[in-house]
Structure 1
Amino acid sequence: MKIIKKISGKILYGTAKVISAIIDSLIHLIENIVLYTGKFFKGCLVIASMGGCLLFLLFANLGFRILANPIGFSTISILLGFLMLGGKLASYLKYQKYIITEFLFNTANYLMDEEKYKYKAFNHYKEAYKRAEEERIREEQRRYYEQQRQWEERFKQQWYQQNYQRGQGGYGGYGSQGSYGQGYVNPTVDFKNKYERSCDVLGVSYDADKQQIKSAYRRKAKEYHPDLSKLPDATKRFQEITAAYEFLSDDNIQRYKNI
């Protein structure tokens, strides 16, 4: 009986790995479709805005022809549907992947070794996923607000430093400020350097948008995830990738553009 359970457990474990790989491929495909569809429509808008009224009319004429064709209309509708709903679909697939594969992996391990593993019901993983997501969101918000608070403090420090230097200049130069400015680091330069280092970690250009950053993060996170990668420094690399992604927030992207 134990032999049958072990064999069943191994088969179930292999099945779970196949399901995990299939869902990962679907998620990756959907994310790429959303990314490149967004780039396509954005590119069309940029070209139309740069070309003026004449080019807009030419594009409008071509657009009407495409929409009048049933195949063209269906293609555009599907692409727009992916653009609007692709993110939600990818999130839903991640949720399904977690609860299905974790349940199968645990059941497989339980069948192979009942003494070491405890059987857990399917609903247990639904609740576990919900709790993990809520905790992740709270932790991201906490780190985000803490990060923003630190940068605001540093920019305030820069403002006070500049005012101090201007005040000293009114008395005949900067020589009287002594050691006040020693060790001072311009927070704008520091922010710019950290932003660009974060982009380098994810392998994206410095002018990358949020969608490109998110796509690069997912690729890197999957490559160096401690549970998936066998590299000795996988955990350290994964932490660096996560920290870089968290730093490249919407506010920091806009702040970098304004420098």
Structure 2
Amino acid sequence: MNILKKIAGKVLYAISKLISGILDVFIKIVETIVNIIGNVAKGFIAFIGMGGCLLLLMLSGPLGLVILMNPLILLIILFFVIFPLLGTKFVSYLKYVKYIITEFLFDRARYLIDGISYQFESFQEYKDKYKKMEEERKRREEQRRWNEQQREWEERFRQWAEYQRQNSRYSDYQWQNQNTNYGNQHSYVNPAIEFKNKYEESCDLLDVPYDADKYQIKLAYRKKAKEYHPDLNKSEGATEMFQKINNAYEFLNDSNIERYKGII
């Protein structure tokens, strides 16, 4: 009986590997197609922005009316607009399906081969684990972006302080000759000005006063995030607004609250 269980387990394991491989290839193909179409759409938008006004002028005339009345052309335009959006969600869904199916089968195979207990008893538990993993991945990504943002601000304030220190010892002409790269990049603009503007814009986005503490900011963020969460708000622009709210909340962290207090 144990031999039969091991054989069944190895067969199931092989099937799981095959399914995993097929889904990996399919996901990669779909992801590549989505990226290509998305890049083509971005390139077309960039073309219009840089010099495609003539094309828009043509499309606004009789010729444009004839072209846009063509169902095939309309279908192509809609395809390039909608497919990148839906394609990205479809790729995410495929990764989700691949995880719960293969993990479920691998667990059953390990049980048959080595007698190792299942990690979870039902598909739903695997789904819950995947969602938690995705939440953790997003949290780590947000933390990475926050760290990069903080390092960037720290470096800009450090460079400004260095400029101020050196400027007190040398003339503007001497400082510019010795630090041309810095001068070209920042034009001697105090980063505190941009920081203050961004901080206050973030506060305005969350509808909190500029002197709000972290608890007020957190409460306002939860309210705004719930209002514009894509799962709850299906209106146009809700997803973009939700991202802006997240970015504002990331920026209004403890370190930046203290930095803002020191600036004003």
TM-score between both structures, scaled by the size of structure 2: 0.57
Hey, what's the Cα distance between the residues in 2 that align with 1:12 and 1:49? 54
* Partner SS, residue 169 of structure 2: helix
Output the amino acid matched with 1:24. D
Check if 1:90 corresponds to 2:108: no
Rate the CA distance shift 1:127–1:45 in 2: closer, same or farther, 3 A.
closer
Output the amino acid matched with 1:40. V
Hey, what's the Cα distance between the residues in 1 that align with 2:68 and 2:161? 58
Runs of 5+ unmatched residues, structure 2: 176-181, 186-246, 248-264
Hey, what's the Cα distance between the residues in 1 that align with 2:30 and 2:63? 27
Output the amino acid matched with 1:118. S
Output the amino acid matched with 1:33. I
* Partner SS, residue 117 of structure 2: coil
> Percent identity of the aligned residues?
43
Match of 2:117 in 1: 118
Preserved contact between residue 9 and residue 108 of structure 1 (Cα < 8 Å): yes
Q: After TM superposition, list the pairs within 5 Å mapping 1:108-257 onto structure 2.
A: 108-114=109-115, 117-119=116-118, 120-121=120-121, 122-170=123-171
Preserved contact between residue 100 and residue 126 of structure 2 (Cα < 8 Å): yes
Q: Deviations over 1:131-168 (max 9, x none)?
A: 22222222222232223222211211110101111100
How far does residue 108 in structure 1 lie from its aligned partner after superposition? 0.7
Output the amino acid matched with 2:124. N
Output the amino acid matched with 2:108. T
Moved more, 42-51 or 136-145: 42-51
Rate the CA distance shift 1:104–1:44 in 2: closer, same or farther, 3 A.
same
The total of aligned residue pairs comes to 176
Rate the CA distance shift 1:33–1:66 in 2: closer, same or farther, 3 A.
farther
Preserved contact between residue 31 and residue 87 of structure 1 (Cα < 8 Å): yes
Match of 1:14 in 2: 14
Output the amino acid matched with 1:151. E
* Partner SS, residue 168 of structure 1: coil
Q: Deviations over 1:200-259 (max 9, x none)?
A: xxxxxxxxxxxxxxxxxxxxxxxxxxxxxxxxxxxxxxxxxxxxxxxxxx9xxxxxxxxx
How far does residue 56 in structure 1 lie from its aligned partner after superposition? 3.0
Q: Deviations over 1:27-55 (max 9, x none)?
A: 22222222221222233333344445543
Hey, what's the Cα distance between the residues in 2 that align with 1:36 and 1:153? 37
Hey, what's the Cα distance between the residues in 1 that align with 2:124 and 2:156? 48
Hey, what's the Cα distance between the residues in 2 that align with 1:63 and 1:16? 53
Moved more, 22-31 or 11-20: 22-31
Output the amino acid matched with 1:169. Y
Preserved contact between residue 49 and residue 56 of structure 1 (Cα < 8 Å): no
Hey, what's the Cα distance between the residues in 2 that align with 1:82 and 1:52? 23
Output the amino acid matched with 1:159. W
Match of 1:102 in 2: 103
Rate the CA distance shift 1:9–1:68 in 2: closer, same or farther, 3 A.
farther
Output the amino acid matched with 1:138. R
* Partner SS, residue 169 of structure 1: coil
Hey, what's the Cα distance between the residues in 2 that align with 1:79 and 1:3? 55
Preserved contact between residue 41 and residue 80 of structure 2 (Cα < 8 Å): no
Q: Deviations over 1:44-76 (max 9, x none)?
A: 333344445543344667765555444444444
